[in-house]
Chain A
């Protein structure tokens, strides 16, 4: 609860930073505030708190909130320079802080109304941010598309909540669990679960509800795309798993088959579409869709290890993504192009930048000793323990396709003739972000228990 209060207060302060002219002091204040929020959240570890049956800050919520706060901290360091060029920087920071409130609500709800509120608080801010590059038509299209499709998906989610309420008479997760188990043969339960799943699959961009993702990711400013691929995805999957593991774990027969097919479709659509992309931004967008498929494997094969597998996957994926998007941001600003050709032959003049990009790509592809390898390993392990061997086989084939397109970027960096030997300027903040993310990616790859031990 302290997390929510601190984040909301920070958001309100950010709104007024421009009016009262302390824009300069805002950025350190936000970093300090996020640090404070992290401290107060971590203090609640092993001290579960319940608020009026609406929110339950158990260890699951605490750990995912901490993960989201760390990612947000790195995000702010990455995005500072971009937003300082804007006229209304404080509005953007305020929107991000408010959407973080939504993300924390999404990982700690114990009532369906709070789930809905969390998703809306998160989404509405991101709709605006996607369109925040006002003079760019692509950005406008991106925001508009996200808004229309997002409200449609919210409609499905609400309809699902309505049907579940109709059959159980409660919004509370625990009583829904018992009531659903008691009425498991009712058609309304199946319809409600599937509608809820459609709503959440949209937010976490699982095929066939992924069509918005590539366009929105490509059109939005790169920093906002990073936010969508990291914080939003982590929160969406945390909410997805929290809802389905507490409410519908007893009636897996109703929904695992559908989700199984959605995972297979996502893995293939995401990976195969990414192969042909010229733009690195679009490639990362499709890769984000594909990664949603891998994470959803742990939801399909729900077991004791699923929680830690999802935590490990979302966190390491977010760290690697921040690294990749930061480099894309630096390179595209330098070269004026987001294509793979912009990366050609940059290894000679920029060895460190190339190394960081290589580590990020290897982690996304799932090659040891990076964190991405163990992320896939633990997800596949949950599937094998649940007897989903066929799914693992399909996912491994999809991962092989993934290696192909991630290596296209690495090959462009190291093995293509260099176009110019001018070193790309990297600001101190970007440099810090890249050092942190690269070290963390390698560290978590060598010592996965640093994350797994917590949950």
Chain B
């Protein structure tokens, strides 16, 4: 480690400044430069062309949340297959068995979720 002082983190500070500055600048400049047309239709929420109905902050079924969180869980776990696939030859048989046991644990979890009925939609 030749260089390790606070000064070496200057690029990060510049990145933060540029990123923050870009957001602030675009928001303000578009507000100033853009044309302003106010009307009921213009200010309405855009919902793919359909007329908007009611407030978005309403209670909805916990099942959506459960399905979403399970999707994220398995999605993230499957991503670990990609680095393994890239280094498949180098990792050899050891890597293969490690991945099999890893996938096995995931499958056990998946089986558990199915048996617990987390993905059943028509209960209660």
Contact = CB atoms under 8 A, between A and B. Distances in A.
A188 B6 CA distance: 7
B115 A19 contact: yes
Contact of A186 (B4, B105, B108, B116): B4
Interface string B78-113: 000000000000000000000000000100100010
B1 A12 contact: no
Contacts of B116: 19
B112 A166 contact: no
A187 interface: yes
A19 B112 CA distance: 8
A15 interface: yes
Nearest to B9: A166
A166 B108 contact: no
Interface in A100-128: none
Interface in A14-31: 15-16, 19
Contacts of A15: 108, 112
A15 B113 CA distance: 10
Contacts of B108: 12, 15-16
A179 interface: yes
A160 to B, nearest CB: 15
A183 interface: yes
B5 A168 contact: no
A169 interface: yes
Contact of B1 (A16, A19, A169, A188): A169
Given A187-B6, A188-B6, A168 B1 contact: yes
Counting chain A CB atoms within 10 Å of each CB, the highest count among B1, B115, B116 belongs to B1
B112 A16 contact: yes
Contacts of B105: 12
A169 B9 CA distance: 14
Nearest to A20: B115
Nearest to A182: B1
Contacts of B6: 186-188
Nearest to A179: B1
Interface in A170-222: 179, 183, 186-188
A167 interface: yes
A154 B109 CA distance: 25
Nearest to B1: A169
- Residue of B9, B108, B112 most packed against chain A (CB within 10 A): B112
Interface string B1-42: 100111001000000000000000000000000000000000
Contacts of B9: 166
B16 to A, nearest CB: 14
A292 to B, nearest CB: 33
Contacts of B1: 168-169, 179
A240 to B, nearest CB: 26
A204 B1 CA distance: 34
Interface of A: 12, 15-16, 19, 166-169, 179, 183, 186-188
7 contacts: A12-B108, A15-B108, A19-B112, A169-B4, A186-B5, A188-B5, A188-B6
Given A16-B112, A187-B6, 5 more contacts: A166-B9, A167-B4, A179-B1, A186-B4, A186-B5
